[in-house]
Amino acid sequence: MSHYYSENPNVPLKTRTIEVFIRGQYFKFITASGVFSFGKYDEGTRLLVENAILEKDWRVLDLGCGYGAIGIVVAKFVDYVVMTDINRRAISIAKKNLKINNVRNAEVRWGNLYEPVKGQKFHSIITNPPVHAGKEVLREIVINAPKHLYDGGLLQLVIRTNQGAKFIKSLMEQTFKDVRELAKGSGYRVYAGIA
């Protein structure tokens, strides 16, 4: 079975380019079959990106970058972004999307969860997590986040209200000094955990 979170999706490659207006700017994204949100900009991702706290001098990690929907927008507002994913097709599409959006202050790295950023710290980790990969993966993302955040750094994530929000919020409350709800709407919640 091939999922958007497989290392090598086995569905034939199809691409579709979309244009989106987000955080006051236009972006063009190549989207692909076998990569999350083919042919569209995900609504949960939009709620997260529109409401994320970003500062000019920040280094940010986009964990599970897909075609680059989060990292590429965020790069316009911060100093540097590292984008990672386990799906090799996502990695190749995200690299192309960096180029077509003239983003030079970001890079894409392949690998599982935090492996590509071993020993590195960020001001924020921003993610639309792979809920379908299972609770264990969500748990790993949340509980290991503080190791990769500076003191006071933020894990910012979006989750469907009816698909894991309670689980994630309580996990974040056990892991972080404080947890805030940054936004809600269209069946999603955006949470920030402060390390």
Q: Which residues bind ligand SAM (CB under 6 A)?
A: 4-5, 36-37, 42, 45, 64-66, 69-70, 84-87, 90, 112-113, 128, 130, 133, 137
CB of residue 3 to ligand SAM, shortest distance in Å: 8
Q: For residues 36 and 58, which CB has a smaller minimum distance to ligand SAM in the complex?
A: 36
What is d(CA 118, CA 55) in angstroms, rounded to the nearest whole number? 23
What is d(CA 122, CA 43) in angstroms, rounded to the nearest whole number? 25
Pairing of strands 80-85, 106-110: parallel
Q: For residues 133 and 190, which CB has a smaller minimum distance to ligand SAM in the complex?
A: 133
- In a 13 Å sphere around the CA of 8, the CA atoms on its Cβ side amount to 1
CB of residue 113 to ligand SAM, shortest distance in Å: 4
Q: For residues 112 and 170, which CB has a smaller minimum distance to ligand SAM in the complex?
A: 112
CB of residue 84 to ligand SAM, shortest distance in Å: 6
CB of residue 184 to ligand SAM, shortest distance in Å: 17
CB of residue 89 to ligand SAM, shortest distance in Å: 9
What is d(CA 61, CA 71) in angstroms, rounded to the nearest whole number? 8
Pairing of strands 188-194, 122-127: unpaired
Q: For residues 130 and 153, which CB has a smaller minimum distance to ligand SAM in the complex?
A: 130
Asked if 93 and 37 count as a contact pair (C-beta separation under 8 A), the reply is: no
Q: For residues 70 and 178, which CB has a smaller minimum distance to ligand SAM in the complex?
A: 70
Q: How many CB atoms lie within 10 A of CB 195?
A: 21
